[in-house]
A and B are shown apart, each in its own frame.
Chain A
Amino acid sequence: MSAKKVLGIIFSNAYDEALPQLTALRTMGSVPFAARYRLIDFPLSNMVNSGVPQVGVITKSNYRSLMDHIGTGKPWDLSRKREGMTLLPPYDTPGAGITIGKADALYGCIDYISDSQKEHVLLVDCNVVCSMDYSKLIKAHTANDADITIAYANGEPPVINGGTELVMDENGRVTATRLIDCYSGSTCYSLKVMIIRRTLLERLLHEAHSAKIVDIETMISKNIGHLRVYGYEEKGFVRVLNSLQSYYDISLELLKAENRKELFSADRPVYTKVRDQVPAVYGIGANVKNSLIADGCHIYGEVENCILFRGVTVEKGAKIKDSIIMQDTFVGENSNLSCVIIDKSAVVKPNKTLCGDSSYPVYIGKGIVI
């Protein structure tokens, strides 16, 4: 089956609570990542690179920055007359509050889903960073004649709300799902990337709604006995963001060439909103080692093991180590930073020292002046 017959759905708000600092003012989807991206760029680009022609982006709250970022979907080539990208704001029916689970959120846009007339629906979250070829998942789904296929990774599972382990038979058919606790050890954990027959999804959503079930995991596990549910193993670079610490660690993992190669392969470009900034400028005395730097940066100081987003300025004599500095932040002369995450447009005045630890990075909020 071709990816053309698939409707993509991206949950921009799912697991916001895992990154409370970074999502205080924005959705998970608009969390800045990897020097020039927002998390939603990865699933959106994956959709496009896998040939999925129609994508709905479900939002819940604080989605102004997300709208600003994705606009009409032009950078992903998804601004179309037919199909393309649609932003799905919360749908508040009388008696219903703000959506609390993914099943609930999907029920809110059930008309959009059925109007698409696609055969299958592909559901993905924004806190899973990967360059995944969904067309392979779709292929496996069709080959197994499955009702539902869930992508999983094999390894130490991230601890996250609703984290699920897949129990499979020798054919990869899922016989049970189990909630993961912190003692699970290495296992096959769900990446919450799943493809499901559209008509089945609609039926399950109606049932879940009347049974007041709000999350997808419960909805599926209740029906696992009489549905053909399969697992699909994703072997590439996949990381699940489940805390500020994991955000920090996963970001710095991109300093390794092999990880970058997998996430940013030339034939699967990651698209993002264009900012039209000049290339990064290195001044006399700049000293940069093992770092990822975006356009628009001005560097006159020392930078080591860092990720610098677009438009960051590092003044003379400033030293930044093991840190993540977001868009348009200014680091003054002779300041000393190590193991910090600084959000957008913050200012560190000259001669300041801020130190976290690699096991406990310090977070500085958006626009804070120190």
Chain B
Amino acid sequence: MAVKPECIAMLLAGGQGSRLGILTKNIAKPAVPYGGKYRIIDFPLSNCVNSGIYTVGVLTQYQPLELNDYIGNGRPWDLDRANGGVHILSPYQQIKGTEWYKGTANAIYQNINFIERYDPEYVLILSGDHIYKMDYSKMLDYHKEKNADCTIAMLEVSWEEASRFGLMIVNEDGSISEFEEKPKNPRSNKASMGVYIFNWKKLRKYLIEDEAKEGSGNDFGHDVIPAMHAAGERMFAYQFDGYWKDVGTISSLWDANLDLLNPKVDLDLNDDSWRIYSRSPAAPPHYVGTDAVVENSMITEGCEINGKIDFSVLFANVTVEEGAEVKYSIVMPGTVIKKGAVVQYSIVAENAVIEEGAVVGESPENMKNIEDWGVAVIGNGVKIGKGAKIAPDTMTDSDVGGAE
């Protein structure tokens, strides 16, 4: 092999994201579309390339077809390389038997041979579920400076939310004194982002030990990291401040998209020095018609807009006909919204058809009981018939007939 990489990344992309319901029926969570032209996985992948990490293993398990197709040879991220580049790593048959990836640590354990081929000093473990821009090379510098065995990226979250995260109690020098996994009464608001750097030789040893341990969940957060901590390895926390969002639920996915329309949110996708790359379709420029009204929105190439758009994110090749209205909504590629239809406070997946006069979702102000309000979701390829009404906080996964 040519020049040996100092650090390689392993990206865990096997998650189902079950709380995203019908949006992840046929695709893994990292393949969920976001921000008009991206998929969630574009963020960690682009971060890797922008940080100078050009060898990335992508571990897939749940519904990998679309993800495999999307990543392809890695060209859009400049990861089609003679040495390294992006590799899709699925569970495979071995002489001692065949296993699915049992947990995050087991997924890496099953790919020890892949990592050994590159023989790196350090391994960066990432998750394909988060939206953030982060320079991993700075984290690696920190890891080296602290002479750490393991560095965990952490983020200060609000105290109310803290109990949803794995938390760390951090000493003044940045070393970690204690871990708390989703505690009821948090003593810290420093949450783990699921981004780890390990010295590979150390990690390898702990992965093998963890695998041999009866009853281990083979998970980084629950098993491997506590084991390393207990054995007195040098564990450090690396503070990240910036936008970071786990788009694990429908409402967080909706929020994260609309965050792009908020100039106060610290997620600049226009930054030339830190571009987020994606595989984009060859679509012509979008067209805004004579009677269209478009405000506070993001519109992607290939769209034909003749209706009214407000506070929404439209993906490529969406058609909005005359008199139709889209507000506070996310509309994914290829969807058609016909004359006079209203799509509000909704997420509409790819290639859906909203027929004339149909109404999808409801504005929270019009709810008798705000507890019943939520984002309405229309599944992939679903057709909503003429004049039909789709209630808020519902998921519609099959065609709905017209209201004749």
A binding-site residues for B, Cβ under 8 Å: 34-36, 74, 255, 257, 260, 263-264, 269-272, 274, 276-296, 298, 307-308
Could you say which residues of chain A place their CB within 8 Å of the CB of B313? 279
Shortest Cβ distance from B291 into A: residue: A289
Interface residues of B in 276-324 (CB under 8 A from A): 276-278, 280-301, 304, 309, 313-315
Shortest Cβ distance from B280 into A: residue: A274
* B76 located at the interface, meaning its Cβ lies under 8 Å from any Cβ of chain A in the complex: yes
Contacting pair B295 A290 (CB below 8 A): no
A269-B282, A270-B282, A278-B270 given; A291·B287 CB < 8 A:
yes
* B75 located at the interface, meaning its Cβ lies under 8 Å from any Cβ of chain A in the complex: yes
Contacting pair A294 B278 (CB below 8 A): no
Q: Summarize B's interface: helix, strand, loop or mixed.
A: loop
New A-B pairs, 6, CB < 8 Å, besides A285-B295, A288-B294, A308-B285: A36-B285, A277-B270, A279-B35, A282-B294, A284-B295, A293-B288
Could you say which residues of chain A place their CB within 8 Å of the CB of B260? 278
Contacting pair B37 A289 (CB below 8 A): no
> How far apart are B234's CB and chain A's nearest CB, in angstroms?
38
Out of B36, B278, B288, name the residue touching A291 (CB < 8 Å).
B288
Contacting pair B288 A295 (CB below 8 A): no
Could you say which residues of chain A place their CB within 8 Å of the CB of B36? 278-279
Instruction: Report Cα–Cα, A68/B128, bound state, in Å.
Output: 33
Contacting pair A293 B295 (CB below 8 A): no
Contacting pair A295 B295 (CB below 8 A): no
Instruction: Report Cα–Cα, A280/B305, bound state, in Å.
Output: 13
Contacting pair B298 A289 (CB below 8 A): no
Contacting pair B301 A279 (CB below 8 A): yes
Instruction: Report Cα–Cα, A307/B280, bound state, in Å.
Output: 21
A274-B76, A288-B292, A296-B270 given; A279·B285 CB < 8 A:
no
Contacting pair B285 A35 (CB below 8 A): yes
A279-B313, A291-B288 given; A272·B282 CB < 8 A:
yes
Could you say which residues of chain B place their CB within 8 Å of the CB of A35? 284-285
Choose among B278, B286, B309 the residue with the greatest number of A CB atoms under 10 Å from its CB.
B286
Could you say which residues of chain A place their CB within 8 Å of the CB of B269? 278
A270-B282, A289-B290 given; A295·B300 CB < 8 A:
yes
Shortest Cβ distance from B271 into A: residue: A278
* B25 located at the interface, meaning its Cβ lies under 8 Å from any Cβ of chain A in the complex: no
Contacting pair A281 B298 (CB below 8 A): yes
Could you say which residues of chain A place their CB within 8 Å of the CB of B287? 255, 257, 260, 291-293
> How far apart are A301's CB and chain B's nearest CB, in angstroms?
12
Could you say which residues of chain B place their CB within 8 Å of the CB of A296? 270
A284-B296, A295-B37 given; A270·B284 CB < 8 A:
yes
* B204 located at the interface, meaning its Cβ lies under 8 Å from any Cβ of chain A in the complex: no
* B275 located at the interface, meaning its Cβ lies under 8 Å from any Cβ of chain A in the complex: yes
* Selected A-B contacts with CB under 8 Å, 15 pairs: A74-B75, A255-B287, A276-B277, A278-B270, A278-B298, A279-B300, A282-B299, A283-B296, A286-B295, A289-B288, A291-B288, A293-B287, A293-B288, A295-B300, A308-B285
Chain B positions 158 through 178: 1 when the CB is less than 8 Å from some CB of chain A, otherwise 0:
000000000000000000000
B binding-site residues for A, Cβ under 8 Å: 35-37, 75-76, 260-261, 269-270, 275-278, 280-301, 304, 309, 313-315
Shortest Cβ distance from B263 into A: residue: A283
Shortest Cβ distance from A306 into B: residue: B288
> How far apart are A251's CB and chain B's nearest CB, in angstroms?
11
Contacting pair B298 A290 (CB below 8 A): no
Could you say which residues of chain B place their CB within 8 Å of the CB of A255? 287
> How far apart are B284's CB and chain A's nearest CB, in angstroms?
4
Could you say which residues of chain A place their CB within 8 Å of the CB of B280? 274, 276
Could you say which residues of chain A place their CB within 8 Å of the CB of B277? 276
Instruction: Report Cα–Cα, A3/B294, bound state, in Å.
Output: 44
Nearest 7 CB-CB pairs, A to B? A279-B36, A35-B285, A279-B300, A269-B282, A264-B284, A278-B269, A279-B298
> How far apart are B310's CB and chain A's nearest CB, in angstroms?
9
Instruction: Report Cα–Cα, A131/B299, bound state, in Å.
Output: 25
> How far apart are B274's CB and chain A's nearest CB, in angstroms?
11
Contacting pair A282 B285 (CB below 8 A): no
Contacting pair B295 A280 (CB below 8 A): no
> How far apart are A29's CB and chain B's nearest CB, in angstroms?
18
Contacting pair A294 B282 (CB below 8 A): no
Contacting pair A289 B301 (CB below 8 A): no
> How far apart are A317's CB and chain B's nearest CB, in angstroms?
15
Instruction: Report Cα–Cα, A85/B280, bound state, in Å.
Output: 22
Shortest Cβ distance from B312 into A: residue: A282
Choose among A290, A296, A308 the residue with the greatest number of B CB atoms under 10 Å from its CB.
A290
Contacting pair B290 A292 (CB below 8 A): no
> How far apart are B95's CB and chain A's nearest CB, in angstroms?
36
> How far apart are A135's CB and chain B's nearest CB, in angstroms?
19
A280-B298, A282-B294, A293-B288 given; A271·B275 CB < 8 A:
no
Shortest Cβ distance from A286 into B: residue: B295
Instruction: Report Cα–Cα, A293/B300, bound state, in Å.
Output: 9
Instruction: Report Cα–Cα, A278/B298, bound state, in Å.
Output: 9
Instruction: Report Cα–Cα, A291/B290, bound state, in Å.
Output: 8
> How far apart are A319's CB and chain B's nearest CB, in angstroms?
16
A34-B284, A260-B284, A270-B282 given; A279·B75 CB < 8 A:
no
